[in-house]
Amino acid sequence: MWGIIRRMLAVVWLTFKEQSNWTSLPVYLLYIFINPVFQVALYGYIYIAVAHLSGITSPEAAFYMVSGIALFNYIGSGLYGVIWTIHSEREHFRTLKYTYLAFPDLQLYLTSRGLYHYLVGLATSLAMLGLGMLLIGYPMLGSLDTLPNIAILLLIGIAWSSQIGVVVAGLSIYSSEYGPVISESFGGLLFLLGAVLYPVSALPPWLQPLAHIFPMVEWMELMRHYLNPSYIPGDIGGLWTLLVIKTLATIVITYLYFRLVERLVRKTGMLEASLHH
Amino acid sequence: METAIKTIDLVREFKTSKGVFRALDGVNLEIPSGMIYGLLGPNGAGKTTLIRILSTLLLPTSGDAYVGGYHVVREASKVRSIINLVSGGERPGYGILTTRENLIYYAMLYGYSRREAERRVEEVSQLIGLDEFMNKRLNELSTGMVQKYSLARGLLNNPRILFLDEPTLGLDVENARSIRRLIRRLVDEGYIETILLTSHYMHEVEELCDRVAIIHRGRIIEEGTVEELKERVSSHVIYELTLQGSNGNLDFLRELDSVIGYKVRLSNVPGEARLRIIMAYEDISRVISLLERKMYRVRRIVRDEISLEDVFLKLVGRGLDE
């Protein structure tokens, strides 16, 4: 077990080096924070502008939107980190086949490649939440009592979203040309369906069942609840049950799916396939 | 002697737009441990496909293959624990990390702790002669140094069996020689038990390999030590001729019963070409008159010693790089 954890930590270290050592640490920190911070500022000002023009304020709606953006940043960072591994290691670094031979399990490797991105996502999401709430003037946030629940939810968030990332990475193995498009499109789909800016009930009725396939809706709503206990999205116990069931199902299905992918990849030789740049 | 690698009727087919292409067509090999085994063949002969199957990157269409006694399909993870792979002509690695960082990372992927990884990387870098390049970023290294780095990476997990796929591809003469010396040392000094090396350079295989298999269109067409293979053409006559004149193809030489195969290389002198010809019996006077009838001028004739290249010429009827 310790051997596996040590390997995973090595992968986290690699990802940190890969992401950061093109510049100095202060510039890197600026780089990782600047985009999310401006993103939340943009949404915050959109709310302010709309409130100003319409004369209608809705702090709850603003909280929903800003917390959604910040939480999606956490999930999205890790998810992209997992998905992009195939593209960057096969096309750019040309290391995928050697990593495949060295690391005991490709699925676990992809998950490990996302871990550093979740850490960065967590830091930047906290900054987004702080700035966003300040901007919209929302009285924040939950008490220290909710921190254990938030911590558990953050881990559960890694569990389901990294495995969804593995599913998409599995798809992108088959297409060196369309891999980046697949990952971008999938991120957009989650943003659209995952209760980020609006509740699922705001979606057209035919889209709502699709939104409920992923554990994201329950995860988002529970996170909002523990960030701000006055926000009650429904039956909290029921949401927890659904989240745990969907997360376990995602893990099991991904495991089975990826065994199949790995076999097909070895059958087609796609570990070494690359786009002719 | 223990068997390091064994293949039984190994077949690999690829679907292409033109239909099914059979890259390996019933390959049977038994490679004893404790040697450098060469797989010699032209581009597209199936060498890399075989290495990919043996290193568990690719599944065979049918047949069986064993590496270190483990089945490459059913026991892939056990195979991976005793092998490593180094391919020539590519630059794999994280260019923004130093050579040391890249190697430490890979050592840790193989399960070493940070301290063990540093020690192992130190050992390997001294063996390979990478010391002065350890703190340079990988993207600052020359092609030759990148190949040495790849070789170092291939040794990190102390593999019993090392696959070297065209290890000197794209290297200049000096770097290629240095890599070849290293490869020989690895087996002679007991760092690696068995090396399976693919190449389309005759002299490389001749210099390095204890045994050789010649692969052509997915089939093993000859196998043995270099001396055994040469022995099989020892009754043949080999000439090297320097020609001037018409630049058309020399297929007309095949009209002569005595001619088994030939290979043409352009000379450094403009308008000149070198013809290496293998004949079943002494018949050079007819060859020369035929060439002269076809408007070639024969500038020089040398009766040559048998080389591995002649074995290939005999078996395939043309040169390895044609």
pTM: 0.87
Tens-place pLDDT, residues A148-165: 999 999 999 999 999 999
Query: How close does chain A come to B212, measured CA to CA in Å?
Result: 26
What pLDDT shows up at residue B105? 96
Least trusted range by pLDDT, from A170-179, A260-269, B122-131: A170-179
- Do the beta carbons of residue B182 and residue B125 sit within 8 Å? no
- Domain spanning B235-305, CATH architecture: 2-Layer Sandwich (3.30)
User: Distance between CA B218 and CA A181 in Å, rounded?
Assistant: 37
Flag whether pLDDT at A276 surpasses 60. no
Least trusted range by pLDDT, from A78-92, A133-147, A255-269, B9-23: A133-147
What pLDDT shows up at residue A201? 94
Whether residues B153 and A98 touch (CB distance < 8 A) is answered with yes
Strands B194-199 and B161-165: parallel
User: Distance between CA A235 and CA B225 in Å, rounded?
Assistant: 77
Taking residues A53-64, report their average pLDDT.
Answer: 88
CATH 3.40.50.1110 fits B3-230, yes or no: no
Which of chain A's residues have a Cβ under 8 Å away from the Cβ of B76?
266
Kindly report the three-state secondary structure assignment for every residue of chain B: CCEEEEEEEEEEEEEECCEEEEEEEEEEEEEECCCEEEEECCCCCCHHHHHHHHCCCCCCCEEEEEECCEECCCCHHHHHHHEEEEECCCCCCCCCCEHHHHHHHHHHHCCCCHHHHHHHHHHHHHHHCCHHHCCCEHHHCCHHHHHHHHHHHHHCCCCCEEEEECCCCCCCHHHHHHHHHHHHHHHHCCCCCEEEEEECCHHHHHHHCCEEEEEECCEEEEEECHHHHHHCCCCCEEEEEEEEECCCCCHHHHHCCCEEEEEEEECCCCCEEEEEEEECCCCHHHHHHHHHHCCEEEEEEEECCCCHHHHHHHHHCCCCCC
Flag whether pLDDT at A245 surpasses 80. yes
Taking residues A46-60, report their average pLDDT.
Answer: 88
Q: Is B163 on the interface with A (CB under 8 A)?
A: no
Which of chain A's residues have a Cβ under 8 Å away from the Cβ of B84?
101
Tens-place pLDDT, residues A225-240: 999 988 999 999 999 9
What residues does each domain of chain B span? 3-230, 235-305
Nearest-by-Cβ selection for B59 from A11, A102, A267: A267
